[in-house]
Amino acid sequence: MLWLRRRGRPTESRVLYEVSPDEDVAQPCIVRMLDGTLVALVQKKRGQSIFIRSQDGGETWSDPYRSELPAGVGGIGTLGVRRDGRLVAVLEKSTEVLHSPSVKRLTVKLPDGRECEKYVGYRYSSEMRLAHSSDQGRTWTLGSSVAYSPLVAAWVWVGGRILELDDGTLVVPLAGYLSEQDMSGIFLSSGVLRSTDEGATWSWSIIGRGSQSDWLIFSEPAIAKLHNGTLVALMRVDDRVKKSIPGDPRGSRTGLHRSHSTDGGRTWSTPRECLAGTHCSVAQLADGVLLCGYHRAPRLALSADEGAHWYANMLWVTDKPRSNWGWYTSVEMVNETAAICIIGEYPAKNIIRFCMLRRQP
């Protein structure tokens, strides 16, 4: 049997979590525990982390419960599941000045006629550390700091879930800045941090390098570990070239780009565009097919060749499926014949929805 191709579609979506319209929620994340329990995280704008779990494959869900985090450590940036069954998280406390008057957005005209977008004066700082939970997110034990040198600033996000490889190596996808100049202009690069000693030390491996010389930025990396050990990364890529010259492809190099690693994330292939979308999550299903959730509009795509090519590209089942109604999809395998997808509403940001995918005979 194969996962549904063009003849199939997701189930109608259901509400997973909802608050009053004046109390925004943010980005959702879902993981599958070793016993099959599904644990969903909902980040709230004020730094609170809400968890909801299902022990029957998404048919029914627990009441929401709040995570108890020590004061001063920030919020949960992303999740993963350790080989011993514990939840692992990166906690992040950050400051940024994107909407400050000190940040300027400029149009740069190059000698060859291209026009490019540039920022000046942006600053971001963060502190990150590991934490573990043995009770599905209710309480947490603090672990080591996550040192991200040589980056001068970095951040994690819910789509970039933490992986533990078969040899115990921790792999944390993240984006950041390799110099003060990159940070000033918001030229993001993406890659992974790797630790072979439970977070005591970390090493950085780059996947996509953002720079003013090429006018590309790489952000929001999401990584899946395949059954054969290969790691597949998908990243959001934005092109800062806003006006190109005839015959020059620059200005249209956006979309999700794919890279892969066969050595546990130490080195990566050159990123190549694979999907016309942004802000994705990716997971391998039981039979090896990759599932990717992304937007805009919210879609679900499948790949049978490790993400090189994608089929289906299914729209969510809604009243206006092609509209820009949702963002930040998180996808996960449920069992051998089902997968789950959760998404945040947009522009009404107070609702989290989910739908199911079922394999066709």
Structure confidence by residue, pLDDT tens digits, 13-30: 999 999 888 888 878 999
Domain span at 335: 14-358
pLDDT at 97 over 80: yes
Split at pLDDT 50, 70, 90, the class of 48 is confident
Return the pLDDT at 194. Answer: 98
Return the pLDDT at 204. Answer: 98
Report pLDDT digits (tens) over 141-168.
Answer: 999 999 999 999 999 999 999 999 999 9
Split at pLDDT 50, 70, 90, the class of 1 is very low
181 touches 189 (CB < 8 A)? no
* CATH number for 178: 2.120.10.10
pLDDT at 12 over 90: yes
Return the pLDDT at 5. Answer: 53
d(C-alpha 31, C-alpha 38), whole Å: 6
Alpha helices (runs of H) in the chain, residue ranges in sequence order: 180-185
Split at pLDDT 50, 70, 90, the class of 361 is low
Return the pLDDT at 171. Answer: 98
| Residue at 208 is within a domain | yes
d(C-alpha 42, C-alpha 162), whole Å: 16
d(C-alpha 59, C-alpha 49), whole Å: 22
| Residue at 7 is within a domain | no
Rounded average pLDDT over 350-354: 95
pTM equals: 0.95
| Residue at 96 is within a domain | yes
Neighbours of 189 (CB within 10 A): 26
pLDDT at 7 over 60: no
Between residues 210 and 251, which one has the greater pLDDT?
210
pLDDT at 37 over 60: yes
Split at pLDDT 50, 70, 90, the class of 349 is confident
Report pLDDT digits (tens) over 232-260.
Answer: 999 999 999 999 888 888 888 999 999 99
pLDDT at 228 over 50: yes
Rounded average pLDDT over 294-313: 94
356 touches 338 (CB < 8 A)? yes
| Residue at 178 is within a domain | yes
| Residue at 4 is within a domain | no
Between residues 244 and 89, which one has the greater pLDDT?
89
d(C-alpha 39, C-alpha 66), whole Å: 13
Average pLDDT in the chain: 93
Percentage of the chain modeled with pLDDT above 90: 82
Return the pLDDT at 150. Answer: 97
| Residue at 174 is within a domain | yes
Residue 262: strand pairing partners: none
pLDDT at 292 over 50: yes
Return the pLDDT at 32. Answer: 98
Return the pLDDT at 85. Answer: 97
* Total domains, the chain: 1
Please name the residue that has the structure tokens 């040589």.
Answer: 150
| Residue at 68 is within a domain | yes
Neighbours of 141 (CB within 10 A): 11
Split at pLDDT 50, 70, 90, the class of 4 is low
| Residue at 9 is within a domain | no
Angle at 220 between CA 203 and CA 67, to 5 degrees: 85
Q: Which of 7-16, 130-139, 186-195, 317-326 has the lowest mean pLDDT?
A: 7-16
Burial of 179 per CB tally in 10 Å (0-12, 13-18, 19+): middle
pLDDT at 198 over 70: yes
Return the pLDDT at 6. Answer: 43
Question: CA gyration radius for the chain?
Answer: 20
